[in-house]
Amino acid sequence: MVSILTLTGIGGAMALALLLTLVISPGFAELEDRAAEGYRARALTALAEFAAMTEAMAREQANAGPDRSMRASFAHALVYRRVPHGGWASQHATAKGAPGLVERQVGIALDRLNLEVLLRSGHSARFYLPVGRNVMAVALAENAEGNDYVAVVRRLTSDHLSSLLGRPVTISPAVPINFDMHKRARWIDIVVPIGGADGRPVAAARFEVSREVVLLGRRVLLLAAAASILLLVLLLLMLRRALGRFVLAPLDRVERHMQRVQASGALLPFEDGHSRCEEFSSLGGSFNAMLSQLKDLRERNEIQSFALGRSESAVAVLHNVRNALAPLATILSHGVGQGDTVRRDLVDRAFAELAQADVDPERRSKLIAFVITAFESEAKARDEVRRHLAVGRDAMRQTLEIIGAQQARAHERPALERCDISDIVARNAIIARYAQAVSVGFTVPAQPAYVVANRVILSQVVGNLLSNAVEAIVATGRGHGSITVDVASPSGGRLSVRIIDDGEGFEPAEARRLFQPGYSTRTGKSGGLGLHWCANSMAVMGGTLELRSAGRGTGAVAVLTLAADGELERRTELAA
């Protein structure tokens, strides 16, 4: 699950970064282009203003006349006047002395200009003119009469443009092929054309503009992507921790508990005091309720199996007894149905005739033969009866042996061992707590107390008594109750355990009848075999079970008495 969420988060981060790139980058690129165009427009405006100022100076000088002195604003400008039928003469040279090299170069360049074409559309014109390594702003003007021409020339310097644009500017007399902006990694190269007399560029102004907008956009994009990824990673880590703590850890505890239940076979309830999740608490409660039901079903199954085994054992014993007694019944039936082998009246008559002296000898011999035959038949009958009685005696002895073996088996005692009654009570109390929808407070002994008993049978007896105590509390209708288990100190080699509840209780007169099969103090409850079985089981282990109550509504006390630890060795020594 965490891997799937991680892959989904990475995909979402990539999609977010792509979305930010598609949305933010074009906007910042457009802002950059606007800023570059603004710098370009400012440069063109600065060039136009510089030329326009020069033109204004030329008009002023043309209208002022040749005899008027130059103003202070012309100190950095060269002023030329057209000589009639000649070239251009520098007023600055006339005032200061012979013209310099630049003045001569400017004068030569002015001589090449066609004034009629330049001043065709008005009384003045402005343009830029390359002179050697310099670029000059040239303005031509004529006076109102049209008979005097003035040219004012001002040198265009990089410092002047730089101060106007706020960027370092380089003026190059070389004219580039194109004037497109060239974008580099961190800078934009801007080339602005400087127009000449015919409108074509005669020089170029170059400067660089930082790509701060795009760089800022990239930083914002990277920051947004990094922040989103970091936030996503943080959320995934928190989600993983939350899943591990609130989902995986409780599930792992449930799984380990189920493995312990599977390995041990003991239906121990699940207790998770660390989980704060209502769903897992509900799951634990449902699981414990299921274990409680399974425990009840197991105990019922054990009781039913015991009863069924006892019934089957009784049926088998009776079958064996019947088989053993069948020959005896046959012999008796044969003896009852068989008549006398010799008629006694005939024998008596034969003896009476033989006692007479006048009996014919032949007749006497026949009578003697008859009497002998009768006696022989009687002897055979006695032998047959004796043989049948021997068979019946064997059948009766076999029957008595079967019954004796069954009696010996019935009196066999279960294997006894050293048991901690406190631990058995605590385990069964945890299970009984979830048996009914009622709040029951348990107080169990904290110190171990060892008795001599069969651990499995004792656990079933204690569990049955605790379940009866919980049912007694439920029967009160209060919805809550308490069960206290205390262990008395061993006395006389015996140890007593009392299970005290504040349930519905019973009348003292019913105490003896509680252990009868089929009897129950609750009219709506069927069965009543639990206490009967518990009493017999305690007797088999050499212990006793007693129930006490002061009456209805006063609660009940179940007292278990068993041999204390050490009694087992004593019994073994006595038996030896």
Task: Report strand pairing: 494-501 vs 480-487.
Answer: antiparallel
Residue 52 lies in a domain: yes
Kindly give, in sequence order, each residue whose CB lies less than 8 Å from that of residue 140, ignoring residues fewer than 6 positions away.
Answer: 58, 113, 115, 118, 119, 124, 125, 126, 149, 150, 151
- 403 and 463 inside one domain: no
SS3 of the chain: helix, strand, coil, percent, to 5: 55, 20, 25
Tell me which of 410, 427, 459 is where a domain ends: 410
pTM above 0.95, yes or no: no
The token pair at 470 is: 């919980």
- 179 and 300 inside one domain: no
CA–CA dist 275, 285 (Å, integer)? 12
Parent domain of 289? 281-410
pLDDT digits (tens, 9 = 90+) for 215-228: 777 777 777 777 77
The token pair at 23 is: 């949305």
CA dist list (Å): 376 to 352, 371, 379, 382: 19, 9, 5, 10
- 384 and 425 inside one domain: no
Cα 271 to the chain's mean position, in Å? Answer: 18
Residue 266 lies in a domain: no
pLDDT digits (tens, 9 = 90+) for 407-425: 666 666 678 889 999 999 9
Best-predicted range by mean pLDDT among 247-251, 298-302, 382-386, 491-495? 491-495
Is 265 or 148 the better-scoring residue by pLDDT? 148
CA–CA dist 238, 240 (Å, integer)? 5
Give me the residue label for tokens 């922040």.
227
pLDDT of residue 496: 92
Residue 38 has pLDDT above 80, yes or no: yes
What is the mean pLDDT of the segment spanning 153-160? Answer: 88
SS3 call for 34:
helix
What single-letter amino acid sits at 264? Answer: S
Residue 209 lies in a domain: yes
pLDDT digits (tens, 9 = 90+) for 449-505: 999 998 888 988 898 898 889 888 988 888 889 999 999 888 888 999 999 999 998
The token pair at 422 is: 């406190």
Report CA torsion sign: 252, 256, 262, 266.
negative
What is the mean pLDDT of the segment spanning 192-208? Answer: 88
CA–CA dist 60, 69 (Å, integer)? 12
Residue 258 lies in a domain: no
CA dist list (Å): 390 to 118, 322, 383, 393, 418: 167, 18, 11, 5, 52
Cα 16 to the chain's mean position, in Å? Answer: 28
- 378 and 519 inside one domain: no
- 449 and 368 inside one domain: no
Q: Quick check: 422 and 444 in contact, CB under 8 A? A: yes
- 6 and 99 inside one domain: yes
What is the mean pLDDT of the segment spanning 512-541? Answer: 71
Cα 94 to the chain's mean position, in Å? Answer: 100
Residue 235 lies in a domain: no
- 461 and 493 inside one domain: yes
- 361 and 449 inside one domain: no
Q: How many CB atoms lie within 10 A of CB 480?
A: 11
- 428 and 405 inside one domain: no
Q: Which helix (H) or strand (E) holds 452?
A: strand 450-453
Residue 232 lies in a domain: no
pLDDT of residue 242: 81
540 confidence band (pLDDT: 50, 70, 90): confident
Residue 259 has pLDDT above 60, yes or no: yes
Kindly give, in sequence order, each residue whose CB lies less than 8 Å from that of residue 311, ignoring residues fewer than 6 positions away.
Answer: none
pLDDT of residue 300: 65
Question: How many domains, in total, are found in the chain?
Answer: 3
- 404 and 467 inside one domain: no
Residue 9 lies in a domain: yes
- 106 and 137 inside one domain: yes
- 211 and 306 inside one domain: no
Give me the residue label for tokens 């009863």.
307
Residue 133 lies in a domain: yes
pLDDT of residue 65: 65
